[in-house]
Amino acid sequence: MTTVLVAAPTAVARARLAAVVGASKTLHLIVDATDLSLSEQIETAQPDVLLVDLGSEHAAAWLRDLGAEPLPPAIVLLTEAGQRTLGAEALRAGVRAVLPRRASAEEIIAAIEAAATGLIVTHPDTVGVLRPVPSARKRGGAAIARQPLTPREIEVLGMIAEGLGNKIIAAGLGISEHTVKFHIASIFAKLNAGSRTEAVTIGVRQGLIMI
């Protein structure tokens, strides 16, 4: 079970996030943190994921301090959409998921599950926060950085090759359909594939799966 430490600037925000985590059968709330000075709590609790609700005030400084921690947990950050500088600072601090503060409970849980497995997660409303969209000309001329698929992504790719849908894949792996979608999006990005068929074809060509 994934353990989660919650941090937020207000009691109301903490209670909301604690309720989201507590309602999930796959997540375990370690402690409802009372402030954003989390170094000692992180060291003591050793959570798998740190779920943080941050406003704009002092957010960048807090993230820089967190980045100095020797072993910070996977971080899921809820913040105001459109803060490009904060998004960049979040990546440098080791944040794996950035969601708008209005994200639904289902989106938050899916992001926690994905971040716990090592995936980078962005919400459609926050994609622009993390990096500017390159021009078509730059996209065409840029070299694609090849990243290896994780064992779970290879497992998902193999199930796609068998013709299985997201719902069946989720049931077979014991994860949510949202998490399956995150894995598939990561597979497509790493293989530079535009469809399931293309991803499978590339996977076979690279020796990742056999059919």
Question: Pick the residue with more confidence: 144 or 171?
Answer: 171
> Does the pLDDT value for residue 62 go beyond 70?
no
Domain range for 156 is 138-205
Is 59 within a domain? yes
User: Which one-letter amino acid corresponds to residue 3?
Assistant: T
What secondary structure, in 3-state letters, does 42-111 show? HHHHCCCEEEEECCCCCHHHHHHHHHCCCCCCEEEEEECCCCHHHHHHHHHCCEEEEEECCCCHHHHHHH
Domains of the chain: total: 2
pLDDT in tens, 92-146: 666 788 888 888 888 899 889 888 887 777 655 554 444 444 444 344 433 334 5
pLDDT above 80 for 21 = yes
Query: In angstroms, rounded to a whole number, what is the distance separating the alpha carbons of residues 184 and 194?
Result: 11
3-class SS of residue 180: helix
67 shares a domain with 38: yes
Q: Looking at the domain assignment, is residue 154 inside a domain?
A: yes
Are 80 and 111 contained in the same domain? Answer: yes
Confidence of residue 182 (pLDDT cuts 50, 70, 90): confident
Which among 7-16, 86-95, 117-126, 183-192 has the top mean pLDDT?
Answer: 183-192
Q: Spell out the residues 6+ positions from residue 123 whose beta carbon is closer than 8 angstroms to its own.
A: 81, 98, 99, 100, 103, 107, 111
CATH number at residue 160: 1.10.10.10
Whole-number mean pLDDT of the chain? 75
